[in-house]
Structure 1
Amino acid sequence: MTALIGDAARPFTGGALTALLSPATRLLGLGEPTHGVDAFLELRNELLRHLVEHEGYRSITLESDCVSGLAADAYVTDGTGTLDDAMSRGFSHGFGASPANRELLRWMRAYNEHRPPHERLHFYGFDGPLEITGPASPRPALTALHDYLAAHLDLDRSRENLDELIGSDERWTNPAALTDPTRSIGRAPEARELRLIADDLRALLTAHAPHLTSATSPDDWWRADLYARTAAGLLRYHAGMSDTTPTRIGTLLGLRDAMMADNLDAIVRREARRGPTLAFAHNLHLQRDKSHMHFAGQPQQWWSAGAIIGTRLGDQYAYAATTFGSRGSDIPHPDTLEGLLSTLPHARSVIDPGRLAAVLDRKLTPRVPVDHTYFSLDPASTDRSDAIVFVKEI
């Protein structure tokens, strides 16, 4: 069996991975099975260098706040600010503390430094402003959108009116609302009014796009549209936070991934003339199947961003799942996918899922992880990925 499995695997290189992908790929999703493990981020950095130098990729997007990501992008494209500033302001979820993320920005800036603007690499976040403790206030995104439009159009809402409706940011960011929907402001009268305003402002942004792009620039309009998507998505998410039904958590998980998919879609369209994009996030956000997890003792399921964007891009979306073998005393059972892949001789491998399925002579059982932050791959759905990247030990 090990010899047959070896026929489906190659030592990890960027070329070995891309050899398994459709030449039509415009968005490559590279998943990770858990956060906070440098081995996966370092592998991502290595892959990006290959994609940029040999495959024509010109951008990367991470599971990080899309608005914060503008600060990191300004640093790597134009050298705005310092690397320390980009790390502190350009990431969410604590990802700015990662040495591998720091090396990512450092390398991208060095690559861009002496290249013309159309050849420079871009950095994006594609998550919403959604920290673990809860969603952000809609103020930054909504007021940035309003200010952009107000500079060129006559609006029937003033900035002061928006600030009055939003009120204190603490009302929106109250961590108690995460578990107690009655503490959320999401369905208060002013929140409902703000949702209508956000919708109207985005409609104006679209209706006046020809004038606005010529009066400012296509890049300025794109950022304004990012603010519009974010404001609408945040207000929708806050409304979901106020939901008192049993499906509340599943709804929130679905809303978050829908926001991610919309951001990925916008990034791919912006980058269409420059090259493909690498997206890096948890496997649960990039896989083509429904995602499953337990939260507060209840099973939850929702369609991932990868599944949603896959319906829009077709074979232009490719997905490479990543998993690992041993982690200290956590050693996978031989009858699991990870246990079987641990028999491979390589420290890091790229596996062809189709060839793997063809040589399997038994049904594999899902791995039960010791660490609750790790989600093992479902051996029954590996054929839904274009490649599997396996790290033998972390």
Structure 2
Amino acid sequence: MNTPRILALGEPTHGEDTLLAVRNDLFRQQVEEAGYRTIALESDCLMGLIADEYVRSGAGDLDEVMERGFSHDFGRSAGNRELVRWMRSHNEGRPEPEQVRFAGFDGPLEMAGAASPRESLTALHAFLAAHADADLLPWDGETLDQLIGDDARWTEPAAMMDPSRSVGRTADAQRLRLIADDLAALLAMQAPQLISTSSADEWERAQLHARTATGLLRYHSWMADTSPGRMAQLLGTRASMMAANLLALADRGPVLAYAHNAHFQRPKSSIRMGGLPAEWWSAGAMVSARLGADYGVLAMALGTIRHRGVETPDPDTVEGVLYALPEDRRLIDVRQLGDLLGGEVRAARVSPWFGYAPLDPRHLGDIDGLVFVKDCFEH
């Protein structure tokens, strides 16, 4: 495959350092041989700024960076720690154009809810207050602070299952959503002046804060919704925030993106939650629609995770065919995969552990390659 602007490497489960070691090796190879300079992980995009600052400047303490620069507990992973350590070592003494960059491309979202819009909205407002014409900014920081109120009301975990516990459609939230939209529009309208009076990093961060503030307030609004489409809207909103972040990162050069396979698939996604079906387009599907051949997908598959009860795959599954090969790790072109499978339709593997999602044989034609890891070991 050609060098795409976004090369998406999907994993079938989170938290396995064996898979992260494969990712780290691939990123180093892409940096050295293909000119990639950014890795983007399924982690909070605002927290990722802390990790990026560390790998670029060395400022701060690695332990603190791993704690504050990642969401979803990913900072506890030895594989992610090794990634950050290598990136910092690589950047030491290199000019800025040759340095590698770190990014989170997920929104400030967790399974049980979403963050307060305070960080992104106040940062956007502060940037505009410093660089835009004062007459165009009728809202002050105190007004935003009063409308946001206590952050705890935004992060109420019960709101995920009970819309009545969400703050997302209160009068304050609706006013904030209009203000955020106007601030994002002002950022676009004043771009010539703002770009000329700020650094490239400041401008990039302002755009990130605008995307995040408007996306978070949209997400909170749907948290308060009671219609049958509520869950599909929440999933789609998160995916669209991911896609927008990936596309923005690709504007500065090729990106290796790493997340769960489900976030990168081209076909439409579906799930049942609370007994109700929901369908949405993943971040990868949105990016693929925009970039075409400049979006590439490598899906990861594995043989065993014995410490999770995932034993040797059945020989009639795709994983079973690949497990019978001698290599511990293998990168397989889709055309080569067809030869290995002999043109036969394979059964879908069933996982005994909820945290691992096997390959869906129906989607093999929608990926560009497959990275197979024979065994995942406990670290």
TM class by shorter-chain length?
over 0.9
More deviation in 124-133 or 326-335?
Answer: 326-335
Deviation at 1:169, TM superposition (A): 0.5
Q: Look up the match of 2:278.
A: 300
Q: Look up the match of 1:166.
A: 148
Aligned 8 A contact 1:253 1:302 in 2: yes
1:389 to 358, 371, 376: 371
Q: Which runs of 5+ in 2 are unaligned?
A: none
* Structure having greater relative contact order (Cα 8 Å, sep ≥ 6): 1
Partner Cα distance (1:149, 1:40) in 2: 42
Q: Look up the match of 1:137.
A: 116
Partner Cα distance (1:314, 1:195) in 2: 32
2:186 is equivalent to residue 186 of structure 1:
no
Specify the code of the residue in structure 2 equivalent to 1:121. Answer: V
Q: Look up the match of 1:348.
A: 329
Q: Look up the match of 1:283.
A: 261
2:289 to 283, 291, 311: 311
What are the equivalent positions in structure 2 for 1:67-82 lying under 5 Å apart? 67-82=46-61
2:127 is equivalent to residue 148 of structure 1:
yes
Specify the code of the residue in structure 2 equivalent to 1:65. Answer: D
Q: Look up the match of 1:335.
A: 316
Specify the code of the residue in structure 2 equivalent to 1:342. Answer: Y
Partner-residue secondary structure (3-state), 1:287: coil
Partner-residue secondary structure (3-state), 1:151: helix
Q: Look up the match of 1:267.
A: 249
Deviation at 1:297, TM superposition (A): 3.9
Q: Look up the match of 1:3.
A: none
Partner Cα distance (2:152, 2:367) in 1: 42
Specify the code of the residue in structure 1 equivalent to 2:268. Answer: K
More deviation in 259-268 or 341-350?
Answer: 341-350
1:255 to 227, 232, 237: 237
Partner-residue secondary structure (3-state), 2:131: coil
Specify the code of the residue in structure 1 equivalent to 2:288. Answer: G
Q: Look up the match of 2:226.
A: 244
Task: Write out per-residue CA displacement over residues 175-213 of structure 1, whole angstroms, 9 at most, x where no aligned residue.
Answer: 010110110011111111111101100111111111112
What are the equivalent positions in structure 2 for 1:28-177 lying under 5 Å apart? 28-153=7-132, 154=134, 155-177=137-159
Task: Write out per-residue CA displacement over residues 120-171 of structure 1, whole angstroms, 9 at most, x where no aligned residue.
Answer: 1110000000022210000000000001101123110010110111111011
Partner-residue secondary structure (3-state), 1:321: strand
Partner Cα distance (1:208, 1:296) in 2: 45
Partner Cα distance (1:383, 1:152) in 2: 49
Q: TM-score, normalised by structure 1?
A: 0.91
Specify the code of the residue in structure 1 equivalent to 2:263. Answer: H
Q: Look up the match of 1:11.
A: none
Deviation at 1:115, TM superposition (A): 0.3
Aligned 8 A contact 2:269 2:279 in 1: yes
Aligned 8 A contact 1:288 1:307 in 2: yes
Partner Cα distance (2:39, 2:336) in 1: 29
Partner Cα distance (1:128, 1:80) in 2: 24
Q: Look up the match of 1:223.
A: 205
Q: Look up the match of 2:2.
A: 22
2:301 to 313, 317, 323: 323
Deviation at 1:46, TM superposition (A): 0.7
2:355 is equivalent to residue 373 of structure 1:
yes
More deviation in 89-98 or 356-365?
Answer: 356-365
Deviation at 1:300, TM superposition (A): 3.1
Aligned 8 A contact 2:55 2:102 in 1: yes
Q: Supply the RMSD in Å over aligned alpha carbons.
A: 1.3
Deviation at 1:361, TM superposition (A): 4.1
Partner-residue secondary structure (3-state), 1:142: helix
More deviation in 283-292 or 102-111?
Answer: 283-292
Partner-residue secondary structure (3-state), 1:206: helix
Q: TM-score, normalised by structure 2?
A: 0.95
Specify the code of the residue in structure 2 equivalent to 1:374. Answer: Y
Task: Write out per-residue CA displacement over residues 50-107 of structure 1, whole angstroms, 9 at most, x where no aligned residue.
Answer: 1111111111000000011000000001112121121111111111111111111110
Partner Cα distance (2:82, 2:305) in 1: 24
Identity %: 53
Aligned 8 A contact 1:324 1:392 in 2: yes
